[in-house]
């Protein structure tokens, strides 16, 4: 128990610290574990080196939002629960327990079946015949999270912290739904010689360009990496492109209200600004702005009234998150019925998506513009809670946008601006979690469809 977390809690150092006496056993355990992971036989796992077995078990239950029932052999309670000797706790399917135990035993690694996951909100741990821990998982989790929430109150809006703390007890598996079948782009499309060209535009500090290039490439585009300085220096012009994408990621280090520096370079250079205006006016083009790019499109007036434009005092813009801090989360959104060409056939779907922004709250200075935006169905994507209900509640809505607004489009649907990052989850492996019925069925991420929709729009329109 020397040097353990428990010893530190009691201001002790201890004598004998955890060690590994036989590295060949450790190596064997590692290799078997890696093989089982490759075979898809391990559902989750955690080592016990930071807190001991009980901390490991509780953390797994907290993260999995489930209960556990554990039976340990009769031994010293403190040592059994808190020693930090090298060891793993693995969650596996019940049908595979015997074969997995045999896999470790075959290479001389000690392994025991210690319990099971249960669906209700209960934690029970027995050592021998004695129940040493029994209670509700959610109550233990509240205690576990209490220190973090106290720290959070010093860093962000206390009202948002309180919402998240109270809501934690009621979290459940998101009820995501898909109204379409995600599929790879066909080989015929991918091998075409004359693909539509899309300019992936970045500015100083942008860091979302590579994911965006990959997403559009996977959808069948000829993707071009273009910087604003390329346009200023007249090395590239926009008239050759069918798509224009404004990427996210700390443009101008996220100062000057994030997108303002970017918008200033465009607006105050006449030849560049005219290129943008001409591109926007063409009926065979589309544009997408994500995160900083969303802020830019609002400042340029491309959404929601891109065709006619709005005066600066009426133009919607993006303000600081209600939480008062940068938010990086895997949130839930729902695709709304709208003219957005990139969301064609996706309406009604709810799915996970990455968010990463400090200023993502949509603000409408003029209420009449807001009402008209809703009437014209230009709100294309909204944040939702675990029940797929559009929400302003934190943390489901990470920024406090009214009516859960996560994106707006133009009236003709060609121009789309959204704060979340679809390019960061267009493959399945970019998702931190996905319903098993999706991961078992689909080989490609659901968000790829919006990029494929853009290509199909280009194929169906001409100059």
Choose the catalytic residue: 320, 327, 421, 425: 421
Catalytic residue at 423? yes
HEC profile for 364-384? CCCHHHHHHHHHCCCEEEEEE
Whole-model pTM: value is 0.89
> Cα(182)–Cα(315) distance, rounded to whole angstroms?
35
Residues spanned by CATH 3.40.50.880 within the chain? 187-460
- Hey, what's the torsion of the CAs at 446, 448, 452, 453, to 10 degrees? 50
Look at the block and give the residue holding tokens 């993502």: 360
Catalytic residue at 291? yes
Burial (CB count <10 Å: 0-12, 13-18, 19+), residue 246: buried
Residues spanned by CATH 3.90.650.10 within the chain? 5-146
Choose the catalytic residue: 152, 211, 291, 415: 291
Among residues 289, 295, 288, the alpha carbon closest in space to that of 264 is found at 295
Catalytic residue at 363? no
On whether the CB atoms of residues 409 and 453 are closer than 8 A, the answer is: no
The length of the chain is 463
Choose the catalytic residue: 152, 327, 359, 423: 423
Tens digit of each residue's pLDDT, the chain (463 residues): 888 899 989 999 888 888 898 999 999 999 999 999 999 999 999 999 889 999 999 999 999 999 999 999 999 999 999 999 999 999 999 999 999 999 999 999 999 999 999 988 999 999 999 999 999 999 999 999 999 999 999 999 999 999 999 999 888 999 999 999 999 999 999 999 999 999 999 988 888 999 999 999 999 999 999 999 999 999 999 999 999 999 988 776 666 566 788 888 899 999 999 999 999 999 999 999 999 999 999 999 999 987 778 888 999 999 999 999 999 999 999 999 999 999 999 999 999 999 999 999 999 999 999 999 999 999 999 999 999 999 999 999 999 999 999 999 999 999 999 999 999 999 999 999 999 899 889 999 999 999 999 999 999 987 5
**What is 5-146's CATH number, 3.90.180.10, 3.40.190.10, 3.40.50.620, 3.90.650.10?**
3.90.650.10
**What is 187-460's CATH number, 3.40.50.880, 2.60.120.380, 1.10.3720.10, 3.40.640.10?**
3.40.50.880
> Cα(234)–Cα(228) distance, rounded to whole angstroms?
10
């Amino acid at each position: 128990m020397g040097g353990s977390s428990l010893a530190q809690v009691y201001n002790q150092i201890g004598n004998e610290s955890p060690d590994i006496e036989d590295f060949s056993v450790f190596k064997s355990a590692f290799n078997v574990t890696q093989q089982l992971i490759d075979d898809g036989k391990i559902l989750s796992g955690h080592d016990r080196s930071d807190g001991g077995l009980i901390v490991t078990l509780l953390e797994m239950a907290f993260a999995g939002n489930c209960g556990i029932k554990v039976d340990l052999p009769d031994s010293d309670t403190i040592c059994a629960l808190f020693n930090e000797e090298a060891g793993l706790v693995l969650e596996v399917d019940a049908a595979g327990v015997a074969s997995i135990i045999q896999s470790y035993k075959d290479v001389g690694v000690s392994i025991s079946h210690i319990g099971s996951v249960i669906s209700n909100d209960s934690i029970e741990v027995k050592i021998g015949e004695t129940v040493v821990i029994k209670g509700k998982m959610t109550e233990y989790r509240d205690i576990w999270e209490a220190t973090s929430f106290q720290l959070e109150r010093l860093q962000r809006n206390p009202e948002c912290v309180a919402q998240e703390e109270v809501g934690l007890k009621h979290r459940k598996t998101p009820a995501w739904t898909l109204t379409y079948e995600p599929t790879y782009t066909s080989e015929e499309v991918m091998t075409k010689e004359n693909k539509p060209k899309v300019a992936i535009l970045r500015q100083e500090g942008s860091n979302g360009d590579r994911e965006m290039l990959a997403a559009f490439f996977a959808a069948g585009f000829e993707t071009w990496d273009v910087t604003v300085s390329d346009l200023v220096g007249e090395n590239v012009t926009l008239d050759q492109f069918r798509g224009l994408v404004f990427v996210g990621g700390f443009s101008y280090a996220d100062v000057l209200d994030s997108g303002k520096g970017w918008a200033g370079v465009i607006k105050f250079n006449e030849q560049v600004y005219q290129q943008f205006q001409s591109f926007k006016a063409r009926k065979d083009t589309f544009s997408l702005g994500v995160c900083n790019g969303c802020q830019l499109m609002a400042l340029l007036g491309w959404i929601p009234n891109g065709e006619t434009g709005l005066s600066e005092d009426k133009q919607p813009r993006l303000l600081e998150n209600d939480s008062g801090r940068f938010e990086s989360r895997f949130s839930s959104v729902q695709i709304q019925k709208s003219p957005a060409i990139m969301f064609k056939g996706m309406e009604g779907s709810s799915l996970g998506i990455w968010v990463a922004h400090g200023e993502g709250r949509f603000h409408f200075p003029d209420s009449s513009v807001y009402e008209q935006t809703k009437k014209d169905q230009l709100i294309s994507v909204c944040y939702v809670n675990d029940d797929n209900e559009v929400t302003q509640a934190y943390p489901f809505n990470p920024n406090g946008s009214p009516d859960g607004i996560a994106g707006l489009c133009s009236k003709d649907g060609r121009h789309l601006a959204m704060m979340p990052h679809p390019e960061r989850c267009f493959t399945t492996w970019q998702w931190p979690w996905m319903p098993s019925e999706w991961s078992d069925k689909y080989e490609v991420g659901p968000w790829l469809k919006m990029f494929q929709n853009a290509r199909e729009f280009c194929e169906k329109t001409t100059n």
